[in-house]
Amino acid sequence: MFKKSHLRFWMALMIIAVYVYIRVSFTINNSKNVRIYRRVDTRDWENCSIPFLDSKPMSIRQHYSVNFPYTCRNLIYKTLNDNDMKILSSFRKNYPRIKRRDSDFIELSKDCSKLKSLGYIEDEISDEELNFPLAFNMIVHFNAEQVERQLRALWRPHNIFCIHVDKSSPKVFHDAIRGISSCFNNVFVIDPSIDVVYAGFSRLLADIKCMELLLKSTTNWKYLMNTAGTAFPRMTNYEMVQVLNIYNGANDVEGLFDRPIRSRFEDEWIEVIEDNKSFLKKTGKKNPPPPDGTKIVRGSAYAIFSRNFVHYIINDEKSIRLLEWSRKTWSPDEHYWATLHHLYANPHLHTPGGYRGIPQKKPWLAVFAGWSGEYNCKGKWLRGVCVFSVSDLSAIMLKQHFFVNKFDVQFDAYALDCFEAWIMAKSYCRPKFSLDYYKTLPFIIE
């Protein structure tokens, strides 16, 4: 007699086998699919058929033979109504995405050819791009899948990358990022890393460490951009290079001089550890005035830096004194770049690529974020910033920014799937890209 215990054993074994088959097939099939990309020299965007853009979102393609009624091209260009949203919600519930764990990237990076076959662009790069290498700081602390997907969208063999992984991140995440970086000779990981405290000086220091590393590299990069793990490029590498050539050495840094939050820098803040938790604490003391008569300008942690500006940040005595003074301020990454860059407030700094106009009247194009009160978010709010859903794509693709932030594959995988497909399609098909807006920017250097 065939015992019930035997039956349960074999059923469990079959379930495990099916699960393993799906995970392995998902990686292999996606690798094969990506490799059929070919650049279209005619630049015929309307007729450019690219896998993923003209098929179902990647998270749906994990579930074979599912009759999903949309392609990514539909989801990007279509105005989604209530019925569409109900359909998408039903598919998310009934066909949840198969999560790529951090440990999956440790295994994948053991064979670099498999990792690279996910879609890294290694050839068919224009001379304009080759002559204008870019540098990127990636400040990350979780979700190796999103970090790898952002790196893949940005990666070109002549660019250079520095990744800082929060020291307090899990070991498996550290190992995953190191595994990924080991497959490329132009991707570096900061070692030792810093324990980054939210709004603390350590967050700014992570960027500084990467800047120091990148300046010492042999790559003659022209511009540096810093980015978060939840962001994604809105421009292709080719488009970035075209715009940055127009910038001609100018930096792109946000500035808010008319609305200072004085408690952030007049009060003293220090990073402390209590109950195994790191956080910023007000001491009750006051900071001395900023050095060299410098006036504080508020801005974003993310910016576009000319190489000369990065050299100035790391080596100029005034910038070094301002950095040291910022050590006991709240969120110094949101005033340090802006204060150095905006010469309207601080003409004595003579910053390379700095801006002499009124800070708050200057467009800032480093990254678009949907802030509460300014943006009609279709996704969800996280600390006052929109986490994009697929319904946001038609709006954010029309922006003029280099990056958009935030995506979360755990919240809406279709959003990142299709935005990524759109960027990859543009990378290979190169639709017409107007530079007229960028030529009128008030901060470019003639």
- Give pLDDT tens digits for 122-133: 987 999 999 999
Neighbours of 379 (CB within 10 A): 19
Q: Using 50, 70 and 90 to split pLDDT, how confident is the model at 44? A: low
Task: Give percent above pLDDT 70 in the chain.
Answer: 88
Give the model's pLDDT for residue 6: 60
Q: How far apart are CA 79 and CA 425, in angstroms?
A: 20
Q: How far is CA 175 from CA 137, 141, 155, 192, in A?
A: 19, 12, 20, 13
Neighbours of 106 (CB within 10 A): 18
Q: Which of the residues are catalytic?
A: 334
The three-class DSSP label of residue 155 is: coil
C-beta of residue 215 within 8 angstroms of C-beta of residue 223: no
For 425-434, how does the pLDDT look when each residue is reduced to its tens digit (9 = 90+)?
999 888 889 9
**Predicted confidence (pLDDT) at residue 145 exceeds the cutoff of 80:** yes
For 5-32, how does the pLDDT look when each residue is reduced to its tens digit (9 = 90+)?
565 655 555 555 544 444 434 333 333 3
For tokens 């919600």, the residue is 89
Nearest to 442 by CA among 189, 311, 252: 252
Q: How far apart are CA 425 and CA 284, in angstroms?
A: 54
User: Longest Cα pair distance anywhere in the chain, in angstroms?
Assistant: 91
Nearest to 188 by CA among 221, 236, 230: 221
Q: How far is CA 14 from CA 7, 21, 144, 172, 439, in A?
A: 11, 10, 29, 28, 61
Give the model's pLDDT for residue 66: 84
Give the model's pLDDT for residue 65: 74
What pTM, to 2 d.p., does this model score? 0.89
Question: Who's near 399: CB < 8 A, 6+ residues apart?
Answer: 234, 368
For 74-112, how does the pLDDT look when each residue is reduced to its tens digit (9 = 90+)?
999 888 899 999 999 999 999 988 889 999 999 999 999
Return the structure tokens found at 405. 């932030």
| Cβ density class 14-48: b for 16+ within 10 Å, e for less | eeeeeeeeebeebbeebbebbeebeebeeeeeeeb
Output Rg (C-alpha) for the chain, integer angstroms.
23
- Terminal CA-to-CA distance of the chain, rounded, Å? 88
Ordered DSSP codes for 289-335: PPGGGPPP-B--S--EEEHHHHHHHHH-HHHHHHHHHGGGSSSGGGT
Q: Among 204-208, 275-279, 406-410, which stretch is predicted with the lowest mean pLDDT?
A: 275-279
The DSSP symbol for 113 reads H
For 334-373, how does the pLDDT look when each residue is reduced to its tens digit (9 = 90+)?
999 999 999 999 999 999 999 999 999 999 999 999 999 9
For tokens 């194009």, the residue is 365
Helix (H) or strand (E) holding 280: strand 277-286
Q: Where are the alpha helices (DSSP H) in 326-412?
A: 336-341, 393-396
Query: Residue type for 79, please?
Result: T
The pairing of strands 160-165 and 231-233 is unpaired
The three-class DSSP label of residue 135 is: strand
The pairing of strands 223-228 and 134-140 is parallel
Nearest to 312 by CA among 346, 288, 357, 360: 346
